[in-house]
A and B are shown apart, each in its own frame.
Chain A
Amino acid sequence: MSITVNHISKSYKNVKALEDISFEVKEGELFGLIGPDGAGKTTLFRILTTLLIANEGTATVAGFDVVTDYKKIRNSVGYMPGRFSLYQDLTVEENLNFFATIFGTTIEENYELIKEIYVQIEPFKDRRAGKLSGGMKQKLALCCALIHKPKVLFLDEPTTGVDPVSRKEFWEMLKRLQKKGITILVSTPYMDEAALCDRIALIQDGKILQIDTPQAIVKHYPKQIYNVRANNTYQLLNSLNAYRHNHSVFPFGEFVHYTDSRADFNPKDLVDYLESKNLSNIEIEKTEPTIEDTFMELAK
């Protein structure tokens, strides 16, 4: 096991940030922590990177205890905090050089590992890090976290504030790094990114809701979801929310995801009801649940 977390709890003054968290991450796995802001993801990352001490529970990273063996962990993990945390007044190359030096290595030594990412930012290597675009900053931060060839890589919301194209590229990079045997723990508030992980843990309010592969999580969704559309989405939402048989109503892109509380639900009834509410162009069709649906269901 690359990471094991046993019954970790952590509270700040009077806020419970984490409550009885347990999970394991296998060697070479790409594991995602999926949850909204304030779910406790960053706290968990800080405990695993030895920056914080949990109130209860134990955890190991790369076989080392996070409290007693913290020095060994600091030697063998790569950490990319949620906030851009490089030296803004240093150039791309200087940042990379600096982190290589403090980890006792050189850029040349591990160039293979970062090559694919670094070639993208290399044209800007004399630019100050503070003057890079969001996506470039993340790529540089990833390079800096990788420069010492870590066994485990911690990425705390690496794609927050990054454009969709860069996000996609970033995840492709993570996939490639995974193939090189690096265990990756990544957190994200974006549900669409969850599907790219091997396994995910859905986390909210400091508690883990479910841990499984993205496919299994979706498969275990208990109800049939319908895509509902009408001429007026706002009124549609209000009408659905007012409908006494509804189980869940969530806006989802151009549709509204609807589930019914009855086992013998007939979409025709719903169409009649919506027409009675003066809605027209009503479309109702079955759809597959997404991770977001699961999350909303679990978080209810």
Chain B
Amino acid sequence: MKRFIGFIKKEFYHIFRDRRSLFILFGMPIAQIMLFGFAITNEINNVDIAVLDHSKDATTKEIINKISASKYFSINQFIDRESDIETIFKKGKVKAVLNFEEGFSKKLIKDHKATIQIITDATDPNTANTISNYVNAILQQYQKGLNNDITIAYQIVPQTRMVYNPELKSVYMFVPGVMTIILMLVSAMMTSISITREKELGTMEILLVSPIKPIQVIVGKVFPYIFLSIVNAIVIVVLSIFIFKMPVQGSLFLLGLESVLFIITSLALGILISTISATQQTAMMISLMGLMLPVILLSGFIFPISSMPLPLQIISNIIPAKWFIIIIKGIMLKGVGLQYLWKETLILVGMTIFFIGLSVKKYKIRLE
């Protein structure tokens, strides 16, 4: 045990003396979450919109005035026909079209319900989503004003339609995605590099010719990174909650446990990478190409898995990040507990055991 503690102490010396790695370790999560985060909450200002008003009555005029009075939108033009919508989008300047149904005012008074269609250009999904949220907010305010005066509830029903990107998913996907990438990177890349560094510098030779057991070397290598990854996970969650108002509907405790599980999965992968690569360079390349790319492309972080071709959908199943993203999305956004996520958790546990088993089997007690 004293050996093990001595080894861990040495590892922390390495980490804290290598300023550059330390900077990557803690700078990158913050930088990434900020970058992605501000992309999410991208404030909109003076977005050009068009109005297709089939009613042209007092109510629609009032709503249009309210919208154009806000600093978020400026009415670019009024159109008369449905067919103009596409033409106007193709020109690219107008990002959204408000389509008031015929007899808006009348319907609102008679049926207490009228419909407005918000059509947005979702080639830029974040902006599209933000626009529709802002319009909704303005409409709701207006509706509230109406309902204050009269006892009968009037209802303006906004119908949001995204064109060009109907698959649009929640933008909150970014936070789970970034968290996954960071944990994967810190855990897998850093451990694989730190193990291969010993090989490259020749210190592994001395460690092998010593009574310290391989398992002690591995766990000793991994331990500091478990600790650092947990710190990173906390930083990411805190940043996303306080700066980006990311909702955490489910249990923070469960989120923590699942994160630790995923960290261990990544570390196991890191160990595996280190057993098959001889230099730090190779380890880094394998980590980047073999882990980062699949995590970004195939985990559902950026591209929804459901819209991938079938072969890629099948491949995505062997990527641990996919399951972890489902888990944190479930906990943070849907607020579900283990009873809904046990399957994904079990898959991660299985993968972890498999990777650890494989790397223990591949770990060399000799030089070849």
The chain A residues found within 8 Å of chain B, CB to CB, are: 46, 49-53, 70-71, 74-75, 77, 79, 81, 83-90, 94, 97-99, 101-104, 144
Contacts and interface: CB of A to CB of B under 8 A. Distances in A.
A50 B209 contact: yes
Contacts of B209: 49-51, 74, 77, 79
Nearest to A144: B206
Contacts of A50: 208-209, 366
Nearest to B13: A90
Tell which of B2, B9, B206 has the most Cβ of chain A within 10 Å.
Answer: B206
Contacts, number: 78
A101 B210 contact: no
B167 interface: no
Interface string B336-368: 000000000000000000000000000001111
B367 A79 contact: no
A275 B48 CA distance: 104
Interface of B: 2-3, 5-7, 9-10, 13-14, 17-18, 201-203, 205-212, 365-368
Contacts of A103: 210-211
29 contacts: A46-B367, A50-B208, A51-B205, A51-B208, A51-B209, A52-B366, A52-B368, A53-B366, A74-B210, A74-B211, A79-B209, A83-B202, A85-B203, A86-B206, A87-B10, A87-B13, A87-B201, A90-B10, A97-B6, A98-B6, A98-B7, A98-B10, A99-B210, A101-B2, A101-B7, A102-B3, A102-B211, A102-B212, A103-B210
B211 A104 contact: yes
A104 B212 CA distance: 9
A81 B201 contact: no
A79 B206 contact: yes
Nearest to B368: A52
A81 B202 contact: yes
Contacts of A74: 208-211
Contacts of A51: 205, 208-209, 366-367
B202 A102 contact: no
Given A74-B210, A102-B210, A85 B205 contact: yes
Tell which of B3, B209, B211 has the most Cβ of chain A within 10 Å.
Answer: B209
Tell which of A50, A85, A94, A103 has the most Cβ of chain B within 10 Å.
Answer: A85
Nearest to B7: A102
Contacts of B365: 70
A52 B367 contact: yes
A104 B10 contact: no
Nearest to A85: B202
Nearest to A102: B212
Contact of B205 (A53, A77, A79, A102): A79
Contacts of B7: 98, 101-102
Given A98-B6, A101-B6, A87 B203 contact: yes
A210 to B, nearest CB: 29
A75 B210 CA distance: 6
B206 A85 contact: yes
Contacts of A81: 202, 205-206
B102 to A, nearest CB: 75
A87 B13 CA distance: 10
Contacts of A77: 209
B11 to A, nearest CB: 10
A94 B10 contact: yes
A53 to B, nearest CB: 7
A83 to B, nearest CB: 5
